[in-house]
Amino acid sequence: MEPNSLDEILEFALEREDAAYRLYLNAAKKTSNPSARKIFEELAEQEAGHKRVILKLDKEKIAGYTFVKVPDMGISEYLVDIPYHESMSYQEILVFAMKNEEKAFRFYQEAGKMTDDPDLKQLLSMLANEEQKHKFRLESLYEEKVLTEM
């Protein structure tokens, strides 16, 4: 994507957030694993929250956002993308979600580099930070539930 305007970047970001929301919500409905359902429902709600922030473009909220230094465990970078399917194992669900959050983080990070608009740059940095938090949470779960049980 080569954004030419603030509107194009925001439209693309909204599409990404909405697609992630629908994907996580659909996955939550279809999984029989209660732990996986909870993770997917939480991820869906977080993506819906991102969409609300983008739609409102509340400059005060964006300006007052407190950035959190998020450690990067780097687990997702060593894993291969897994396509979504209804019979995913808990491990596959975590990998799938990690990779989605990693892609979203990178998208917002790169999009932020393409604009000189300070409000948009702040918004994209904020969204990147949120996606990074999600990725860290998923990587922590992966380390705790998958790597330690191997």
Give the Å distances, CA to CA, from 13 to 10, 28, 80, 119, 149.
5, 22, 24, 15, 37
Q: For residues 75 and 139, is the Cβ–Cβ distance under 8 A? A: yes
The range of the structural domain enclosing residue 135 comes to: 6-147
Question: Is residue 101 in a domain?
Answer: yes
Mean pLDDT of the residues in the chain? 83
pTM of the full structure: 0.76
Residue range 27-54: mean pLDDT, rounded: 83
pLDDT of residue 94: 85
Q: In this structure, what CATH number is given to the domain that contains residue 103?
A: 1.20.1260.10
CA atoms lying within 13 Å on the CB side of residue 14:
12
Q: For residues 81 and 58, is the Cβ–Cβ distance under 8 A? A: no
Task: Work out how many domains the chain is built from and give that number.
Answer: 1
Question: Is residue 138 in a domain?
Answer: yes
Question: Is residue 1 in a domain?
Answer: no
Question: Is residue 82 in a domain?
Answer: yes
Give pLDDT tens digits for 102-116: 998 998 899 888 888
Question: Is residue 100 in a domain?
Answer: yes
Closest by CA position to 11, among listed 1, 26, 21: 1
